Amino acid sequence: MGMEKAKKVLENHKELMAYFIYTNNQGKLQVWYSPELEKKIVQ
């Protein structure tokens, strides 16, 4: 599916939450979490 399509699915399904760990184009680890999950994380 890829990151961009996954983000679009999550935009359309607010009931879902996701936390992705992936490598960027330079091979470095990156993280991304859905806005709904971000609301639940205490910073």
Q: What is the pLDDT of residues 1-43, one digit of tens each?
A: 888 899 999 999 989 999 999 999 999 999 999 988 988 886 6
Which of these, 24, 15, 43, lies nearest to 34 by C-alpha position? 15
Give the pLDDT confidence score for residue 43 in this predicted structure: 61
Handedness of CA 31, 43, 40, 12 (dihedral sign): negative
Q: Looking at this protein, which amino acid is placed at residue 5?
A: K
Give the pLDDT confidence score for residue 23 in this predicted structure: 93
Give the pLDDT confidence score for residue 17 in this predicted structure: 93
Give the pLDDT confidence score for residue 28 in this predicted structure: 97
Give the pLDDT confidence score for residue 15 in this predicted structure: 92
pTM of the model: 0.70
CA atoms within 13 A on the CB side of 8: 5
CB 8 within 8 A of CB 34: no
SS3 27: coil
